Structure 1
Amino acid sequence: MFSSLEVDIRPGSGLGMFEIGMSLWNVLDLIRQMQQAFPQVDVKYDPDSPTTPVILHIRPHLDLLFSGYHQRLHTICLRRLRDLNPPVTLTYKNTVLSSNEEVLRRVGVSRTFGPTYPGDDLRYPGVSFSFDEDGRGEGLKGPQTHPEDRVQEVKKVIISQKTADGEVRDALDEVVECPVMTGDVQRAIIKVHDGVTLHFYPSTSEPVRIQLGSTTAQDLTCDLGPPLRIHYKEDDRMTIHARSGSADDDTDTDYFYNYLQHGIDFLVSGSTHIVKKIILHTNVPGTPLFQRYKRCPWEIESQPEDDEDETPPRKRFDDRVENISHFLSPGDVPPSMLLDRTDEEDGLTLPSSTTRLLGFDGIILEVTESAQVVAVMLF
């Protein structure tokens, strides 16, 4: 563990190395690279829903709240300022607010940040200071007038996006678009038998379309940049389910372009170098693939009901599998196959290690026992 934790406050923007709007995938990857500084991290989530907020509790000082849909850092909470394991040094514009020798008190906050709104907490645009260790104040009670309140010790600092008139942001809200999101996938529109259209941040960016049987590996590199990994396909166990009973027609080895930072894999033909399959990942906590890929917020789109319909019907990754199945095939649900992704991971046990593969015409859904779709494959 580092001898001390030194962080600076950036109201409405971040704290230390954490920026409001960062993805859960990026933050956990960053923490993993700094295990000496953050040896113990708890991930708290609702196992029955893929779109409830996720909390990272980095003991003993930090709580990071991520939005439920896009998994973006929504709120940063710095706690236990006087805990010496490790000691915390808190600064604002190169001024030390709290340290092993300096206690942050109400009067110190007022001198640094100026007047604020009435209430138990000191609230400013993008940052608030609480004198309650476990929870927020009891609400608005009018201005504090007791002389001893000046020396109240700050127990908790909360960073969030700025709002008008000191309004407190709802923890269930999504993070408003901000610069740290630039280059990330905002949404992925799937068309079965065709491909996927990727919309990026900022919202003014031109979308990128990847088509099955048409887009090449070179196109992927030009449009998305080089993949983080290239994996050559060696697992042919699924060929036993092929109708012909034989392996793929291609004699050359197919390979995957793994865009982990976008939550997408592309299977490319080893002979033609054209995209054959597209896999989009949901990054559901508690599942074997959690944190291997950033969440890709995909939506499956069908044909408009008529020529004047400008909003074709869609199903999103957070819809229940029953609804998506009926959307893809209004008839009977196809038979499923079981897949345990922990079979090759000795010593790994998870509450939701077994998933089901549901095959439809041109698309396969990988589904958990709690009916959450963790991945979609187009072919």
Structure 2
Amino acid sequence: MTSRNSTPVVISPGKGLGFITLGASLHNVLTRVKSSPQSYPAIDLSYSPTDPLRTPVLLQLPSNGLRLRFDGPDQRLRLIEVLDFSRVSLVYKNQDVLKGGKADELGTSPQGPSFRHVYNRLFGPSYPGEYVPPADNSPYGTYVLSYPGVAFSFPLQHSAWSDQCDFVALLSSSAALPATSMSIFQGSSWPEVRAKLFTQQPLHPRSSAILGKSRDSVADEVEEFHILGAGKLEVVRRTSPPLLLNLGETTPQDLIAEFGPPDAIYRKHDRRISIHRVAGAGGGDAVHLSPSPSRGMDIPDTDHSSSNSVTDDSDDEISPSSIGDPTSLPAECFFNYFHHGFDAFISYPVTPGPAFPNSEISDASPPPSSSQLTATKIILHGNVPGSYPFNRHRRTRWVIHLDQSDDGLTSESPYDEISEQLREVWKGAYSSQAEERAMQRPMVLNRGWGDSPESSVEFLGDWEETTAKGPRSGTDDHDGGLGNTELFGFPGLLFEVMKNGAVSCLTIY
């Protein structure tokens, strides 16, 4: 998609443009684009640094004349726009959208297809579109001509516009210029879709790799995780029934049967965080992130080994083929599901975190002694734009159900809101206000040092030095490029939080 001389790209109204499919995840599209730097030499990503999870994300490919709009919460492609017809060869049902257009020596782009070409040769008759008057003193407004799943924008002289005019005659006259852009969307027309563009349910999957394949040949895609407490998670999937994961019981073979083989497996050696499990200097009490040591929570490993390559001896890559023989797996390793948006920590069974106090779920019983490996932690990745591990996993959405009556805390909730509700839920577990304050001090996690960001975990300062002071700045500041985030813990849950309050990662154990 780099020039008019490249292989033509097929327009599929309501579906996509070439391999770029409506409903595809930002991770899927960006990974494909980045894998072909010769075809896509320039990539621009735009997002809100203060609210990256609730505002649209824009992926622009200026060398290809394309702009892609993704919704913020789910990061799925909602709108494909062609802004420069000279930089991509487009065809529809074997007809060229624009014949022979090339940018001149000064880089000035030619105009797009004429109304006559669109109307007579490409898409045929259409209902009247809508006219958008000029927003400034420009002599031209914009006439948007819609077909099911595709629309064209034509500059139209404002002085020539009238509600009483025949739009076909008007757009065929000299008052109208050739199209300046084309949009591909899901819906019957642009006016009908516009208001629900970022909220309607996408028809197509997040990964173009599973388009047209049977349910038996590929694993169903994950829609959302429901966190129920006591180590129980319900996985909502696109077409299959919901799946219940029980930490300490679900085996590696169960994960493979439901989600397919992991994209990578890593053995875990590093225990640099374990210093915070022992007594502090001077014989002080052990540092815990839980409201009470009796609740059975300790600081979990935060090194999720989700890097695509291994450059540190704390992580060893294991061939995914070894999962066919359970005895070949090490006692502790990570199953990395980059395209599902989560990791699973595999080890011998341990008692998971407690149930939420007001829920109807009981605390899990201590597991019996067993040599059977199980999933003991699930790590859900937010893929927040601006975060250090951005685009390593696709975004996973989640809901924490504190009791049966609430709507739950979601992956889009600001952490201050999450913290306020969790503090209230666990209020009775603290022995004093001093203990409550002590347990809620954050740790600063730096993923910016070292060659392998996930295996080079550094903690900056001690608990007192990293205490949050006042509201977060609301900026995309990364402390001089270190990629620092803060860790906050509640029983069974560990949140990795960015400076703008977005939850970058949630560990359930």
TM-score grouping bracket, smaller chain normalisation: 0.7 to 0.9
Show structure 2 runs of 5+ residues with no match: 103-111, 131-142, 211-219, 280-285, 287-297, 301-329, 349-370, 428-435, 454-475
Task: Say whether the 8 Å CA contact 1:67–1:175 is kept in structure 2.
Answer: no
Which residue of structure 2 aligns with residue 339 of structure 1? 445
Is structure 2 residue 492 aligned with structure 1 residue 362? yes
What TM-score results when the alignment is normalised by the length of structure 2? 0.65
Could you say if the C-alpha distance between residues 157 and 225 of structure 1 is closer, same or farther in structure 2, counting changes exceeding 3 Å?
Answer: same
Counterpart-to-counterpart distance in 1, 2:452 and 2:261: 32
Counterpart-to-counterpart distance in 1, 2:227 and 2:178: 53
Is structure 2 residue 303 aligned with structure 1 residue 294? no
Q: 2:68 aligns with which of 47, 64, 67?
A: 64
Which residue of structure 1 aligns with residue 89 of structure 2? 89
User: Paired residues, what number?
Assistant: 358
Task: Say whether the 8 Å CA contact 1:367–1:373 is kept in structure 2.
Answer: yes
Q: 2:503 aligns with which of 347, 353, 373?
A: 373
Is structure 2 residue 321 aligned with structure 1 residue 318? no
Counterpart-to-counterpart distance in 2, 1:312 and 1:124: 42
Q: 2:254 aligns with which of 219, 222, 230?
A: 219
Counterpart-to-counterpart distance in 2, 1:139 and 1:65: 32
Q: Which amino acid aligns with 2:264?
A: R
Higher Cα Rg: structure 1 or 2? 2
Task: Say whether the 8 Å CA contact 2:21–2:204 is kept in structure 1.
Answer: no
Percent sequence identity over aligned pairs: 30
Equivalent residue runs for 1:232-247 within 5 Å? 232-243=267-278
**C-alpha displacement at 1:4, in angstroms?**
2.3
Q: 1:107 aligns with which of 98, 110, 116?
A: 116
Task: Say whether the 8 Å CA contact 1:356–1:367 is kept in structure 2.
Answer: yes
C-alpha distance after superposition, 1:277-311 (max 9, x if no partner): 1111111001001101111111111122xxxxxx4
Which residue of structure 2 aligns with residue 154 of structure 1? 179
Could you say if the C-alpha distance between residues 125 and 291 of structure 1 is closer, same or farther in structure 2, counting changes exceeding 3 Å?
Answer: same
Q: Which amino acid aligns with 2:198?
A: D
C-alpha distance after superposition, 1:303-324 (max 9, x if no partner): 22xxxxxx44410011111211
| Structure number having the greater strand percentage | 1
Which residue of structure 2 aligns with residue 16 of structure 1? 18
Counterpart-to-counterpart distance in 1, 2:452 and 2:26: 26
Which residue of structure 1 aligns with residue 324 of structure 2? none
Counterpart-to-counterpart distance in 1, 2:165 and 2:129: 5
Which residue of structure 1 aligns with residue 201 of structure 2? 176
Which residue of structure 2 aligns with residue 189 of structure 1? 226
**C-alpha displacement at 1:344, in angstroms?**
1.7
Which residue of structure 1 aligns with residue 335 of structure 2? 257
**C-alpha displacement at 1:118, in angstroms?**
3.6
Q: Which amino acid aligns with 2:184?
A: I
Which residue of structure 2 aligns with residue 29 of structure 1? 31
Could you say if the C-alpha distance between residues 276 and 57 of structure 1 is closer, same or farther in structure 2, counting changes exceeding 3 Å?
Answer: same
Task: Say whether the 8 Å CA contact 1:186–1:201 is kept in structure 2.
Answer: yes
User: What do you get for the CA RMSD once the two structures are aligned?
Assistant: 2.9
Which residue of structure 2 aligns with residue 272 of structure 1? 372
Which residue of structure 2 aligns with residue 351 of structure 1? 477
Could you say if the C-alpha distance between residues 293 and 132 of structure 1 is closer, same or farther in structure 2, counting changes exceeding 3 Å?
Answer: farther
Task: Say whether the 8 Å CA contact 1:21–1:178 is kept in structure 2.
Answer: yes
Could you say if the C-alpha distance between residues 156 and 139 of structure 1 is closer, same or farther in structure 2, counting changes exceeding 3 Å?
Answer: farther
3-state SS, counterpart of residue 127 of structure 2: coil
Equivalent residue runs for 1:129-168 within 5 Å? 129-132=152-155, 143-144=166-167, 145-146=169-170, 148-149=173-174, 152-163=177-188, 167-168=192-193
Which residue of structure 1 aligns with residue 423 of structure 2? 329
Which residue of structure 2 aligns with residue 308 of structure 1? none
**C-alpha displacement at 1:174, in angstroms?**
2.3
3-state SS, counterpart of residue 28 of structure 1: helix
Task: Say whether the 8 Å CA contact 1:21–1:74 is kept in structure 2.
Answer: yes
Task: Say whether the 8 Å CA contact 1:48–1:370 is kept in structure 2.
Answer: yes
C-alpha distance after superposition, 1:129-150 (max 9, x if no partner): 11249xxxx9988643445348
Counterpart-to-counterpart distance in 1, 2:153 and 2:11: 15
Task: Say whether the 8 Å CA contact 1:74–1:171 is kept in structure 2.
Answer: no
| Structure number having the greater helix percentage | 2
What TM-score results when the alignment is normalised by the length of structure 1? 0.86
Counterpart-to-counterpart distance in 2, 1:167 and 1:285: 30
Counterpart-to-counterpart distance in 1, 2:164 and 2:387: 45
Could you say if the C-alpha distance between residues 101 and 370 of structure 1 is closer, same or farther in structure 2, counting changes exceeding 3 Å?
Answer: closer
C-alpha distance after superposition, 1:122-181 (max 9, x if no partner): 111111111249xxxx99886434453487312211000013695242376224231324
Could you say if the C-alpha distance between residues 19 and 327 of structure 1 is closer, same or farther in structure 2, counting changes exceeding 3 Å?
Answer: same
Which residue of structure 2 aligns with residue 121 of structure 1? 144
3-state SS, counterpart of residue 179 of structure 1: coil
**C-alpha displacement at 1:44, in angstroms?**
0.3
Could you say if the C-alpha distance between residues 141 and 336 of structure 1 is closer, same or farther in structure 2, counting changes exceeding 3 Å?
Answer: farther
Task: Say whether the 8 Å CA contact 1:56–1:64 is kept in structure 2.
Answer: yes
Task: Say whether the 8 Å CA contact 1:107–1:150 is kept in structure 2.
Answer: no
Could you say if the C-alpha distance between residues 48 and 125 of structure 1 is closer, same or farther in structure 2, counting changes exceeding 3 Å?
Answer: same
Is structure 2 residue 54 aligned with structure 1 residue 51? yes
Q: Which amino acid aligns with 1:154?
A: A
Counterpart-to-counterpart distance in 1, 2:13 and 2:6: 22
Counterpart-to-counterpart distance in 2, 1:196 and 1:37: 41
Counterpart-to-counterpart distance in 1, 2:190 and 2:49: 36
3-state SS, counterpart of residue 256 of structure 1: strand
Counterpart-to-counterpart distance in 2, 1:159 and 1:195: 40
Could you say if the C-alpha distance between residues 163 and 115 of structure 1 is closer, same or farther in structure 2, counting changes exceeding 3 Å?
Answer: closer
**C-alpha displacement at 1:355, in angstroms?**
0.5
